[in-house]
Amino acid sequence: MLRSPVIIALDWDAFYCSVEEHFNPELRKIAFAVKQKGIICTCNYVARALGVKKLQLLVDALKQFPDLAIVNGEDLSRYRDASKELWYFARDMVWGGKVERLGFDELFLDVTDMIDFNIALLDNLHVPGASSHPVSSFFFRMSKEDPSVGFSCPVLTVAGNLATGSLPGDFRGDNLRLVLGSHLCHYIRSQILDIKGYTSSGGVSINKTLAKMAGASHKPNQQTVLFPEFAQDFLDTYDIGRIPWIGHKSKSIILDAIYKGTDSVNHTMEGARDGTVFNVRHLANKQLFINSLGQSAGDKLWDLLHGVDQTGVQPTPDMPTQISIEDTFKSLTSLIEVHNVLRRLSYSLLDRMYIDLMDSDGGWLGHPQTARLSTRPRSTGYYGSRISRSDSLPSIVFSNSHSRDYIVDYLVDRCWMPLFSKLIGDAKIFDIVLLNVAVINIEKAPAKSSDITSFLGKKKHTDNNQLDGVHREELPVTKRAKVVGEYADSKGPRFNFLGDDEDVIFEEDNYGESCVVCGQRMMSFALEAHMRFHELGD
DNA sequence: TGGGGTCCT
DNA sequence: AGGACCC
């Protein structure tokens, strides 16, 4: 008999805010939001209760809620650190480490093996002919080796919410496995809260998409199990655009294909086109999906509407496949400004490479092969459109015999600036709003025997599962400080109320300054290097 | 309207 | 090199 997987989706509640509250517990009590440039990227639940929205314009939110506190979240290092820590912690609990990370705040856990093992234990408790009563509780084992590790698991109840509010017809077979999954989910969330101090929302079902949607249906700090027999009812009420992996483009293509006969008035009015899963399922068919989206995407999205998701949990590797650093601007038009931004971005990029690609002895775990520079032109193309150029990454970035300053200079002059020239072409006239530097195509370094060189000092990666509440909050800082030193310290969490306008005003003082020598306008932080440029007599 | 990521074409 | 998707 074929058994379904048991998948758990976890989502840290208001993640950036939770991290900030970790650093500054006083934030817990007040309404606050995390901003990046001109927008609020997330806000805590105190603020949400007042009506603050995610992805709201900062100026709008402050107009409406003058007392809203604002934290600058443009530097992601603290969130990345916390994300990694929670990911490793969860992964240590899942047999085979079958954990996939999605963004910084979501995990998929394939706990099928753990469920199967414990189902077998449960079956053994039923002595044939001895009793007609099933056990009401048993000890769920979290370890194959140590029978004392685990938790008490009531098998006649479901932990948390029921998607569609319905109990399944029976507690046998795959249903029983999901019941155990719900208790496992609850146990894992409790561990994460008790030991790491983060609340989460959980979803339990037979594949990633159903688990994720189930989890999203009851937030925060709750969990939901979706039994397969209710999957279609659950999905049918959703708009297709709310199903993960069906984005704006796909939704629009699908609705266009379905409603292609209707007039243009209806076409442009979103409300006029019923996009519920139920409606789309009945007005379209698989062939229409394949015709309009292509074989592979059409097939996949049609399956999704029916609760079928073949993509398994792909364990996220320890090394990222790319590392990128970016910044956005209102407008960047001169080479010297670009040069200075690239210098700053290169510093951060090196930091990230040292953190994510080096082992505790300062040896490289992986070597990126390619450097990629991306920009976004101002007001050309659709929003978000980027253009990029790439070239092989100079191997000097792996050197331990050059200073960081030297490597940065080398990168900017020999790598990023030439790529930038390639990007903007012969006209040499540009107006960009974004710069992104990335190292990609990271190849795993061959296993090394020993490497004594350690110009960065020890980067300790301990498993701090046993840390108590007092020391827990110091972790992310101390972990990073040894590696990046004073650079990171200068960029610690900043937070201010309205009235302390440093972070609230949008980059006001970065613009409109003029060089006293040549009169060229540039951002203030570019002035210093620009003056050096004059002193050297160009 | 951010500052990241993944995979596919 | 770009485009889709995710957060």
pLDDT in tens, A350-401: 999 999 999 989 899 999 999 999 999 997 667 779 999 999 999 999 999 9
DSSP A187-199: HHHHHIIIII---
Q: Which among A151, A127, A121 is positioned nearest to A139, based on CA atoms?
A: A151
By C-alpha to C1' distance, C5 is nearest to A245
Q: Give distance CA A139 / C1' C1 (Å).
A: 54
Distance CA A22, CA A81 (A): 12
Q: Give distance CA A458 / C1' B3 (Å).
A: 28
pLDDT for position A270 = 54
pLDDT for position A462 = 30
Domain A322-459, CATH among 3.40.50.1980, 3.40.640.10, 3.40.50.300, 3.30.1490.100: 3.30.1490.100
- Chain B bases near protein CB atoms (7 A cut-off): 1-9
* Burial class of residue A224, CB neighbours in 10 A (0-12, 13-18, 19+): buried
What residues in chain A have per-residue pLDDT under 50? 266, 451-538
Domain boundaries, chain A: 7-235, 237-305, 322-459
Decide: pTM greater than 0.85: no
Beta carbons within 10 angstroms of residue A428's beta carbon: 8
Residue A517 tokens, joined: 């020598």
Whole-angstrom Cα Rg for chain A: 27
Helix or strand holding residue A436 (H, E): strand A432-444
pLDDT in tens, A276-305: 999 999 999 999 999 999 999 999 999 999
Q: Give distance CA A435 / C1' C1 (Å).
A: 16
pLDDT for position A371 = 98
pLDDT for position A381 = 67
Q: Phi and psi at residue A150, in whole multiples of 5°?
A: 160, -155
Beta carbons within 10 angstroms of residue A405's beta carbon: 10
Near strand C (CB < 7 A), which residues?
A 11, 102-106, 244-251, 372, 385-390
Q: Give distance CA A86 / C1' B6 (Å).
A: 20
Helix or strand holding residue A290 (H, E): helix A286-293
pLDDT for position A64 = 96
pLDDT for position A427 = 87
pLDDT for position A263 = 57
Share of chain A above pLDDT 90, in %: 74
Q: Where are the beta strands (DSSP E) in A221-365?
A: 223-225, 322-332
Distance CA A337, CA A433 (A): 12
DSSP code of A186?
A: H
End-to-end CA distance of chain A: 77
CATH fold for the domain made of A7-235 = Alpha-Beta Plaits (3.30.70)
Distance CA A65, CA A59 (A): 10
Distance CA A83, CA A196 (A): 11
Q: Give distance CA A88 / C1' B3 (Å).
A: 22
pLDDT for position A125 = 86
pLDDT for position A135 = 85
* Residues A178-189 as b or e (16 or more Cβ within 10 Å = b): bbbbbbbbbbbb
